[in-house]
Chains A and B, each alone.
Chain A
Amino acid sequence: MSRFFATGSDSESEESSSADEITPKAPGTTFTKQSLLLSDDEEDTKRVVRSAKDKRFEELTNLIKTIRNAMKIRDMSKCLEEFEQLCRAFLKSKTIVDKEGVPPFYIRILADLEDYLNQLWEDKEGKKKMNKNNAKALSTLRQKIRKYNRDYETEIASYKENPMASADEEEEKDEVESGSSSDSDDEPADAKSFLKKKSATEAPPPNASKFLKGAADEESSSSDGDNEDWDSDTSESDSGSEDETGRSTSMAVNFLKKTSSEGDRHTSEKKKEERKKRHKRKERIEEEAEEEAQEEGEGEWEKVKGGVPLVKEKLKMFAKGTEINTTVVVKKLNEILQARGKKGTDRAAQIELLHALANISNENNLGEGILVKIKFNIIASLYDYNPNLAAFMKADMWKKCLDCIDELLDILFNNDKIFIGENIAEDSENLASDSQEYRVRGCILTLVERMDEEFTKIMQNTDPHSQEYVDNLKDEGRVCGIIDRLMAYLEMETKGSTEEVCRVYLRRIMHTYYKFDYKAHRRALGLQGETKSEQDAEESEGEDSAFIMDRLCKYIYAKDRTDRIRTCAILCHIYHHALHSRWYQARDLMLMSHLQDNIQHADPPVQILYNRTMVQLGICAFRQGMIKDAHNALLDIQSSGRAKELLGQGLLMRNMQERNAEQEKIEKRRQVPFHMHINLELLECVYLVSAMLLEIPYMAAHEFDARRRMISKQFHHQLRVGERQPLLGPPESMREHVVAASKAMKMGDWRTCHSFIINEKMNSKVWDLFPETQCVREMLVRKIQEESLRTYLFTYSSVYDSISMETLKEMFELELPTVHSIISKMIINEELMASLDQPTQTVVMHRTEPTSLQNMALQLAEKLGGLVENNERVFDLKQGVYGGYFNRDQKGGYQQKQGGYNRDQRGSYQQKQGGYNRDGQRGGYQQKQGGYNRDGGGYQRQGGYNRDGGGYQQRQGGYNRDGNRGGGGGYQGQNRGGYQGGGGYQGGGGYQGGGGGGYRGGYKGGYQNQDRRDY
């Protein structure tokens, strides 16, 4: 493992610069590849090594050719595209141009293009016919070329004076080619003749190449690899990397093979000879020669058809006559591997060589050990093939990789004498002898893990809406199969440590947790498979995924020592539970694991998994009708407004200041593949609907409460957005539906609410995505009815004197017991001031809720109280030390008021007030209080009374004395000692305390009654 990754990253760092260069050019390459195949390839086959100038000029001519083609078919957008590329390419070859002067063909295309464009521009009729894109491109291109041509005015002018009138395009091209390329004179002619011949005898090249691919598939895996590789190589060959030559030969090989398979042996042989000659002329490095030999061998093989093709190859790899034994092969293997990671190494060739080596060892029966070793290396090189860790594998490479791993596993299963491990030292390996155990260094688990990662990467990089994605997704079955086999392998005794088993289990879990087990679901519902075959499939399936998850996770819980695997396993387990509506298990597991406390310390992928799990948990709770839990679970994700990002389902648009390209790459790597996505609209809808069910009754209940808190900010935001609409049409989006439903619910109109939440549109958008659609809908309807009833009672209770439960039952289509229980609950919670009249089954309202105006007045009074208090503080400060005294008093007094006020708000306002007043008429102090009460709004009065300050104190004292004299013991007892302390006026503090606490207590208690009796 360590070796593999180390080199991998090495090569990455080395190659990254070139790889980065390649990537932005991606759109351009496709076209060049095409052109190569279409027309230039014949020339290509003959070209071997060229100067930089040739290379550049060829690129230019290619581009020019496409431009000309586009001009012919009047494809302006294409023209524009190509022209931009041409400019870029020209800029690139600046150094050469500086040396050589502007090439004439370049000037020619500029001039022609301009003429052509002007001509088109004049042609008003034609322009009208053009489609919009083309017209737009035309005008852009025209402007561009005008600007561009300004730099080359003189050249163009001279060209225009003396155009090569007779030259038609093809010849022009050839001239250019012959002028610029260093090939021998007879070649163009040759090429042409060949071209003709070919077009006469064969299908056009693209078809041929397709055919080639098809043929390649039929071939054995080892040889099909190289074909495909070469194909993929060509796509990169124009990138200007240093192994251009090798590439061009590879092109040759393609054609070689194709022609030979077509039977056009004559040409191919002739060409081969030519090529060989040239090869002799130009000295090539050893590896390429080797490669060449290989190609030749393959070419041979094609001809022989069915014979073993390896004779020649062996010759090349090992000197003739060498006895092939393990040591030699290992030596060779090491030799090949040494080239790995170096800059000039052709990675594709390396893979080829390894394949060849594997075949040789197979050929010579060198035993499984060496084969396993080579296989390991093949797979490693396959992974190596991509220089950049961020890039994903090509589909064909990927398939080959899967095959290899499968084969490797085959070998390992068939031969239990092989012992592999990453900690076996290189020199203690035992590859040869049959008698002992084979010992091979390498870790199959790492390879499989890497394979899995590659799979994720491929899925991340494929457009999720294309057929390609579906095709790729089909491989998931194979991946799972491999993981299963590996699991079986590692579960065998002595094959894998617990740690490894945990790792492979986690892989398995990762491939299981997000899939809904329809079979188990159907089984649980007691349904049989509809057809016989389906039933069979069901039986053969065996375990439910739930059991598998349970088994694997429990093993991990017990055995794992790295925290991360366990965390992931728990999260996946919860997710799986939640997905299958096992709410209580999921919730308990979540709560018991205490993951919520420390998840913020985990690495981002785990956090994403956690977020996914929480969301799934929330949705599960919703399905079970636990609205509050659902809301709480979803709150964190939804309130941030970044659900997409938090779930790893896409990047948010952000400007570059917040995130540079590097970070973006990292974030992209974290994305969850599309097939694992959680539907965001569903998520939001679930959240909003739960918020609605919670918030609307709450809003109705606390309509006049100044300190009302919102439960869900997001929901309020949506409501506000809805309110801001100048014109309210019928709802379109999911959000609008929810907002409209909320409005209906506010009025207690559950039918409208219901029709907004559950209808065709919402069904198709949201509700049908649940596995138990019908249950969820029924639950929702019920919840809507209940919450609407509550809202209705909150909103309109002030209108009713009494209301029969029968009516409510009919209004909300609920059963009587439910209505009864809801109302009872509201009464118990003091949300509704009413009582139930049993015999008549009616709710009798108490009408104690203040009206909105009263509420407002109460709020105002409260606020004024605060104001007065604050004002007093200012006064206190003026008074200095003495002021502190008042301050405390003031506070006590104010609290007192508060208490009374609060109580008033609840129950019998008038009654208490009245009683209190009557009491007030008595003692001096009460008189004061009474005065306050009689004054009605009298907080101002209260303020004045406080400002009296000292005077008030005195009066207090006086009152106390009065009270003592007149009131008698009972009264004092009732008011607790504090008052008496107050009698000692000098000990003001004591009195104050009494005023604040003790007095209030007495006042609250049976103070009035007591008093009345006493007096």
Chain B
Amino acid sequence: MASRKESMSTPTAPMASTSSGATLDSPVKQIQIEGLVVLKMIKHYQEEGQGTEVVQGVLLGLVVEDRLEITNCFPFPQHTEDDADFDEVQYQMEMMRSLRHVNIDHLHVGWYQSTYYGSFVSRALLDSQFSYQHAIEESVVLIYDPIKTAQGSLSLKAYRLTPKLMEICKEKDFSAEGLKKAMIGFEHMFEEVPIVIKNSHLINVLMWELEEKSTVADKHELLNLSSSNHLEKSLQLLMDRVDDMSQDIVKYNTYSRNLSKQQQQKHQYTQRRQQENAQRQTRGEPPLPEEDISKMFKPPQPPPRMDTLLIAGQINNYCQNVKEFTSQNLGKLFLAEALQGHNS
């Protein structure tokens, strides 16, 4: 409710998106969303998503200069085990065709997804966003956080993969060297695009009118002081990620140890061979043929680093969330203290 109010009352204000100027040469520098789309997404989540379940949908719109305008959306149907043969692509095409018939923008410009405590940085998201961005360059993914929204501020963020990441994904080279060469860290995986929610003037007028009449009770989720529940959940998730990270590191560790061990063996082998050859030469015998060392010592399979990167990105995300939340809460607590002092 509050979220809707916000979107109504501040129709043109850009959201609190702290996107930097990281949008180097990407074709989209700003995203403009219809209020309708936001409402549809929220409605979709409220109807179908609960708990950790995630809802997804398709965004429709068009590109105007360096601005992506999202004017409509529709949800993906919920998947069940039974209809495995359900063709999603077919459904989307069908949907878009039908929308075109009623004269709605039918150009595919991305997709949206809800999230649970900001846990959206995952391989699945990366893969699908990659395929979107690969097919339609301007595609974005909108992340809608229902929990934050319930706390009083609409949380909607648009992300795109950075060109660097796109390169890597294209080459499918997720080894440590590849990532190093591409100079990519978890900070540079996604770029956030600023969002503007915009309604037509007619709607704005209607809103103003309605606000006069509506008797919606003010809800003060924004001022809720209890914090531990949210923090606990975040910490729990954070911990899980850290565990994953630890495991990954251990894996990498074993790998590099194995590698160095093998290097040593290789070295020893070549040295021995050289010595032997030297001896043979002194005896006047023909030297032993140089064998293919790489065949004898198969290098261990390097673990893919992409997952680690994603986990790191996710951890970063959680940390941001916690930080943001705590700073807000601290402010609220001071506020409350002052109020207490004032009252007593």
List chain A positions with a Cβ less than 8 A from chain B: 851-853, 856-857, 859-860, 863-864, 866-867, 870-871, 873-874, 877-878
Contacts and interface: CB of A to CB of B under 8 A. Distances in A.
Nearest to A870: B249
Contact of A860 (B235, B249, B250, B257): B235
Nearest to A871: B249
22 contacts: A851-B228, A852-B228, A852-B232, A853-B228, A853-B231, A853-B232, A853-B235, A856-B231, A856-B235, A856-B236, A856-B239, A860-B235, A860-B242, A863-B239, A866-B246, A870-B250, A871-B249, A873-B249, A873-B253, A877-B253, A877-B256, A877-B257
A860 B245 contact: no
B275 interface: no
A822 B236 CA distance: 34
Nearest to A876: B253
B304 to A, nearest CB: 16
Given A852-B228, A860-B238, 16 more contacts: A851-B228, A853-B228, A853-B231, A856-B235, A856-B239, A863-B243, A866-B246, A867-B246, A870-B249, A870-B253, A871-B249, A873-B249, A874-B252, A877-B257, A877-B260, A878-B256
Contacts of B231: 853, 856
B232 A867 contact: no
Interface in B223-259: 228, 231-232, 235-236, 238-239, 242-243, 245-246, 249-250, 252-253, 256-257
Contacts of A873: 249, 253
Contacts of B236: 856
Contacts of A871: 249
A856 B249 contact: no
A194 to B, nearest CB: 71
Interface of B: 228, 231-232, 235-236, 238-239, 242-243, 245-246, 249-250, 252-253, 256-257, 260
Contacts of A863: 239, 242-243, 246
Given A852-B232, A853-B228, A864 B253 contact: no
B225 to A, nearest CB: 14
A853 B227 CA distance: 10
A845 to B, nearest CB: 19
Closest 5 CB pairs of A and B: A870-B249, A856-B235, A853-B228, A863-B242, A877-B256
- Main secondary structure, interface of B, reads helix
Nearest to B247: A870
Nearest to A852: B232
A873 B260 CA distance: 13
Contacts of B253: 870, 873-874, 877
Contacts of A867: 242, 245-246, 249
B244 to A, nearest CB: 10
B242 A857 contact: no
B256 A874 contact: yes
A241 B260 CA distance: 80
A665 B253 CA distance: 55
A232 to B, nearest CB: 58
A864 B242 contact: yes
B237 to A, nearest CB: 11
A873 B256 CA distance: 10
B235 A857 contact: yes
Contacts of B252: 874
A877 B257 CA distance: 7
Contacts of A874: 249, 252-253, 256
Nearest to B242: A863
A856 B228 CA distance: 10
B79 to A, nearest CB: 21
Given A863-B246, A867-B246, A874-B249, A856 B232 contact: yes
B104 to A, nearest CB: 40
Contacts of B239: 856, 859-860, 863
A943 to B, nearest CB: 12
A873 to B, nearest CB: 5
Contacts of B246: 863, 866-867, 870
Contacts of B243: 863
A946 to B, nearest CB: 15
B4 to A, nearest CB: 31
A871 B232 CA distance: 26
A631 to B, nearest CB: 31
Contacts of A856: 231-232, 235-236, 239
A867 B243 CA distance: 8
A871 B246 CA distance: 8
A852 B246 CA distance: 23
Contacts of B232: 852-853, 856
Contacts of A857: 235
Contacts of B250: 870
Contacts of A852: 228, 232
A296 to B, nearest CB: 78
B240 to A, nearest CB: 9
Nearest to B240: A863
Contacts of B235: 853, 856-857, 860
Nearest to B260: A877
A17 B46 CA distance: 71
A852 B236 CA distance: 11
Contacts of A866: 246
A863 B239 CA distance: 7
B229 to A, nearest CB: 9
A852 B242 CA distance: 19
A852 to B, nearest CB: 6
A859 B239 CA distance: 8
A863 B242 CA distance: 7
Contacts of A878: 256
A875 to B, nearest CB: 10
A874 B231 CA distance: 31
A859 B253 CA distance: 23
B232 to A, nearest CB: 6
A147 to B, nearest CB: 36
A613 to B, nearest CB: 44
B132 to A, nearest CB: 33
Nearest to B250: A870
Nearest to A878: B256
B53 to A, nearest CB: 17
B233 to A, nearest CB: 10
A853 B239 CA distance: 13
Nearest to A864: B242
Contacts of B242: 860, 863-864, 867
Contacts of A859: 239
A677 B211 CA distance: 76
A390 B260 CA distance: 66
A122 to B, nearest CB: 42
Contacts of B245: 867
Contacts of A860: 235, 238-239, 242
A65 to B, nearest CB: 54
A863 B246 CA distance: 8
A681 to B, nearest CB: 36
A864 B249 CA distance: 12
Nearest to B257: A877
Contacts of B260: 877
B22 to A, nearest CB: 24
A863 B257 CA distance: 23
B250 to A, nearest CB: 6
B203 to A, nearest CB: 42
Contacts of B257: 877
Nearest to B227: A853
A543 B70 CA distance: 95
Contacts of A864: 242
B15 to A, nearest CB: 29
A817 B214 CA distance: 64
A860 B240 CA distance: 9
A878 B257 CA distance: 10
A820 to B, nearest CB: 34
A47 B232 CA distance: 92
Nearest to B228: A853
Contacts of A851: 228
